[in-house]
Protein backbone atom coordinates (compact mmCIF):
# COMPACT_ATOMS: atom_id res chain seq x y z
CA UNK A 1 0.00 0.00 0.00
CA UNK A 2 1.45 3.41 -1.00
CA UNK A 3 1.61 6.21 1.56
CA UNK A 4 -0.34 9.31 0.61
CA UNK A 5 0.51 12.80 1.81
CA UNK A 6 -2.12 14.57 3.92
CA UNK A 7 -4.38 16.67 1.69
CA UNK A 8 -3.06 20.00 3.00
CA UNK A 9 0.55 18.93 2.36
CA UNK A 10 -0.26 17.59 -1.12
CA UNK A 11 -2.01 20.87 -1.94
CA UNK A 12 1.02 22.88 -0.76
CA UNK A 13 3.41 20.77 -2.86
CA UNK A 14 1.14 21.07 -5.88
CA UNK A 15 0.86 24.86 -5.41
CA UNK A 16 4.66 25.26 -5.26
CA UNK A 17 4.98 23.51 -8.63
CA UNK A 18 3.47 26.59 -10.28
CA UNK A 19 6.81 28.39 -9.81
CA UNK A 20 9.11 28.37 -12.86
CA UNK A 21 11.76 25.65 -12.74
CA UNK A 22 10.16 23.91 -9.75
CA UNK A 23 9.34 20.26 -10.37
CA UNK A 24 7.69 17.73 -8.02
CA UNK A 25 10.88 16.93 -6.04
CA UNK A 26 11.87 20.58 -5.57
CA UNK A 27 8.31 21.47 -4.54
CA UNK A 28 8.32 18.65 -2.01
CA UNK A 29 11.67 19.81 -0.54
CA UNK A 30 10.40 23.40 -0.30
CA UNK A 31 7.17 22.32 1.40
CA UNK A 32 8.98 20.21 4.00
CA UNK A 33 11.51 22.99 4.63
CA UNK A 34 8.77 25.58 5.22
CA UNK A 35 6.81 23.27 7.51
CA UNK A 36 9.73 21.80 9.49
CA UNK A 37 12.37 24.52 9.63
CA UNK A 38 10.84 27.88 8.77
CA UNK A 39 7.19 28.22 9.75
CA UNK A 40 7.70 31.94 10.38
CA UNK A 41 9.05 32.27 6.83
CA UNK A 42 6.06 30.31 5.52
CA UNK A 43 3.62 32.64 7.28
CA UNK A 44 5.50 35.68 5.98
CA UNK A 45 5.45 34.23 2.45
CA UNK A 46 1.70 33.59 2.66
CA UNK A 47 1.07 37.10 4.04
CA UNK A 48 3.28 38.75 1.38
CA UNK A 49 1.61 36.84 -1.46
CA UNK A 50 -1.84 37.84 -0.24
CA UNK A 51 -0.74 41.46 0.21
CA UNK A 52 0.76 41.59 -3.30
CA UNK A 53 -2.33 40.02 -4.86
CA UNK A 54 -4.62 42.45 -3.02
CA UNK A 55 -2.68 45.68 -3.57
CA UNK A 56 -0.66 45.44 -6.77
CA UNK A 57 -2.10 46.38 -10.15
CA UNK A 58 -0.71 47.51 -13.49
CA UNK A 59 0.34 51.13 -13.92
CA UNK A 60 -2.08 52.80 -16.33
CA UNK A 61 0.82 54.22 -18.38
CA UNK A 62 3.71 51.76 -18.35
CA UNK A 63 1.95 48.48 -17.46
CA UNK A 64 4.50 47.74 -14.70
CA UNK A 65 3.32 46.62 -11.25
CA UNK A 66 2.28 49.46 -8.99
CA UNK A 67 0.22 50.12 -5.88
CA UNK A 68 -1.18 53.28 -7.47
CA UNK A 69 -2.95 54.02 -10.74
CA UNK A 70 0.24 55.64 -12.11
CA UNK A 71 3.59 54.38 -10.78
CA UNK A 72 6.27 56.61 -9.23
CA UNK A 73 8.56 56.28 -12.25
CA UNK A 74 5.86 57.53 -14.64
CA UNK A 75 5.09 60.41 -12.27
CA UNK A 76 8.75 61.49 -12.13
CA UNK A 77 8.86 64.89 -13.86
CA UNK A 78 12.62 64.63 -14.42
CA UNK A 79 12.30 61.66 -16.81
CA UNK A 80 12.63 62.29 -20.56
CA UNK A 81 9.04 61.92 -21.81
CA UNK A 82 10.10 61.90 -25.47
CA UNK A 83 11.60 58.37 -25.23
CA UNK A 84 9.91 55.14 -24.20
CA UNK A 85 11.90 51.94 -23.72
CA UNK A 86 9.89 48.76 -24.30
CA UNK A 87 10.91 45.75 -22.21
CA UNK A 88 9.45 42.28 -21.79
CA UNK A 89 9.29 41.94 -18.01
CA UNK A 90 9.58 44.10 -14.85
CA UNK A 91 12.98 42.48 -14.14
CA UNK A 92 14.23 43.90 -17.46
CA UNK A 93 13.14 47.39 -16.42
CA UNK A 94 15.10 47.00 -13.16
CA UNK A 95 18.22 45.98 -15.10
CA UNK A 96 17.90 49.03 -17.37
CA UNK A 97 17.56 51.28 -14.32
CA UNK A 98 20.59 49.70 -12.64
CA UNK A 99 22.63 50.27 -15.80
CA UNK A 100 21.61 53.98 -15.71
CA UNK A 101 21.60 54.03 -19.52
CA UNK A 102 18.01 55.21 -20.08
CA UNK A 103 16.48 58.31 -18.55
CA UNK A 104 13.18 58.20 -20.37
CA UNK A 105 10.02 56.27 -19.57
CA UNK A 106 9.19 52.59 -20.03
CA UNK A 107 6.52 50.22 -21.22
CA UNK A 108 6.48 46.69 -19.79
CA UNK A 109 4.88 44.11 -22.08
CA UNK A 110 4.59 41.51 -19.30
CA UNK A 111 5.60 38.84 -21.80
CA UNK A 112 6.51 38.34 -25.46
CA UNK A 113 4.89 37.03 -28.61
CA UNK A 114 5.30 33.25 -28.65
CA UNK A 115 3.05 31.42 -31.13
CA UNK A 116 4.28 28.01 -29.88
CA UNK A 117 2.96 28.89 -26.42
CA UNK A 118 -0.24 30.39 -27.82
CA UNK A 119 0.78 33.96 -26.90
CA UNK A 120 -0.09 36.58 -29.51
CA UNK A 121 0.02 40.40 -29.62
CA UNK A 122 -3.34 40.69 -27.84
CA UNK A 123 -2.01 38.70 -24.88
CA UNK A 124 0.74 41.19 -24.00
CA UNK A 125 -1.18 44.48 -24.13
CA UNK A 126 0.53 45.89 -27.23
CA UNK A 127 -2.57 47.97 -28.05
CA UNK A 128 -2.02 49.88 -24.80
CA UNK A 129 1.54 50.64 -25.94
CA UNK A 130 0.31 51.96 -29.29
CA UNK A 131 -2.16 54.26 -27.53
CA UNK A 132 0.55 55.53 -25.22
CA UNK A 133 3.07 56.45 -27.92
CA UNK A 134 0.50 58.61 -29.69
CA UNK A 135 0.21 61.07 -26.79
CA UNK A 136 2.04 63.79 -28.72
CA UNK A 137 5.18 63.68 -26.54
CA UNK A 138 6.89 60.47 -27.67
CA UNK A 139 9.54 60.90 -30.37
CA UNK A 140 11.40 57.59 -30.04
CA UNK A 141 10.52 54.05 -28.98
CA UNK A 142 13.51 51.93 -27.96
CA UNK A 143 12.89 48.21 -28.32
CA UNK A 144 14.77 46.39 -25.56
CA UNK A 145 13.23 42.94 -25.89
CA UNK A 146 15.53 39.95 -25.48
CA UNK A 147 17.53 38.53 -28.38
CA UNK A 148 15.59 35.27 -28.39
CA UNK A 149 13.35 34.07 -31.22
CA UNK A 150 10.31 35.31 -29.26
CA UNK A 151 11.94 38.62 -28.35
CA UNK A 152 12.94 39.22 -31.97
CA UNK A 153 9.43 38.41 -33.20
CA UNK A 154 7.97 40.80 -30.62
CA UNK A 155 10.38 43.60 -31.59
CA UNK A 156 9.67 43.08 -35.29
CA UNK A 157 5.89 43.19 -34.77
CA UNK A 158 6.04 46.36 -32.68
CA UNK A 159 8.49 48.04 -35.08
CA UNK A 160 6.27 47.33 -38.08
CA UNK A 161 3.17 48.67 -36.33
CA UNK A 162 4.94 51.84 -35.12
CA UNK A 163 6.49 52.59 -38.51
CA UNK A 164 2.96 52.93 -39.88
CA UNK A 165 2.36 55.60 -37.24
CA UNK A 166 5.50 57.57 -38.24
CA UNK A 167 7.26 57.12 -34.90
CA UNK A 168 11.03 56.62 -34.74
CA UNK A 169 11.86 53.09 -33.60
CA UNK A 170 15.30 51.93 -32.47
CA UNK A 171 16.54 48.54 -31.23
CA UNK A 172 19.17 47.96 -28.57
CA UNK A 173 22.42 46.69 -30.11
CA UNK A 174 24.00 43.34 -29.42
CA UNK A 175 27.57 42.22 -29.59
CA UNK A 176 30.64 41.81 -27.42
CA UNK A 177 30.29 42.24 -23.66
CA UNK A 178 32.28 45.00 -22.00
CA UNK A 179 35.72 43.60 -21.19
CA UNK A 180 35.10 40.53 -23.36
CA UNK A 181 37.94 38.88 -25.27
CA UNK A 182 37.40 37.59 -28.80
CA UNK A 183 38.74 34.11 -28.18
CA UNK A 184 36.12 33.47 -25.49
CA UNK A 185 33.08 34.85 -27.32
CA UNK A 186 30.69 32.52 -29.14
CA UNK A 187 30.64 32.80 -32.93
CA UNK A 188 27.06 34.10 -33.13
CA UNK A 189 27.80 37.01 -30.79
CA UNK A 190 31.03 37.80 -32.62
CA UNK A 191 29.30 37.75 -36.01
CA UNK A 192 26.58 40.07 -34.73
CA UNK A 193 29.19 42.47 -33.37
CA UNK A 194 30.80 42.64 -36.83
CA UNK A 195 27.44 43.17 -38.56
CA UNK A 196 26.53 46.00 -36.18
CA UNK A 197 29.93 47.73 -36.32
CA UNK A 198 30.04 51.54 -36.21
CA UNK A 199 32.33 54.14 -37.73
CA UNK A 200 35.06 55.51 -35.45
Q: Which of the four pLDDT bands, split at 50, 70 and 90, describes residue 180? A: confident
Tens digits of residue pLDDT in 46-94: 999 999 999 999 999 999 999 999 999 999 999 999 999 999 999 999 9
Q: What is the tally of structural domains in the chain?
A: 1
**Does residue 185 form part of some domain?**
no
Indicate the pTM of the whole model: 0.83
Q: How far apart are CA 127 and CA 132, in angstroms?
A: 9
Tens digits of residue pLDDT in 123-178: 998 989 998 998 889 999 999 999 889 999 999 999 999 988 878 999 988 877 77
Q: How far apart are CA 50 and CA 14, in angstroms?
A: 18
Q: How many CB atoms lie within 10 A of CB 171?
A: 18
**Does residue 65 form part of some domain?**
no
**Does residue 198 form part of some domain?**
no
**Does residue 133 form part of some domain?**
yes
State the alpha helices, DSSP H only, in the chain: 7-16, 24-36, 39-55, 72-75, 90-99, 126-133, 149-163, 187-195
Write down the pLDDT at residue 14.
Answer: 95
What's 148's domain CATH number? 3.40.1360.10
**Does residue 117 form part of some domain?**
yes
**Does residue 140 form part of some domain?**
yes
Query: Which domain covers residue 85, as residue numbers?
Result: 79-171
Write down the pLDDT at residue 9.
Answer: 93
Amino acid sequence: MSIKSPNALAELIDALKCLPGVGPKSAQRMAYHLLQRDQAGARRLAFSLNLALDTLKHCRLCNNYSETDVCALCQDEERDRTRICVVEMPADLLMMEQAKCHHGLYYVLQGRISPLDGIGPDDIAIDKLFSRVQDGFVEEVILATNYTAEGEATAYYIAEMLRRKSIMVTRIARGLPVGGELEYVDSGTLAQAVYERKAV
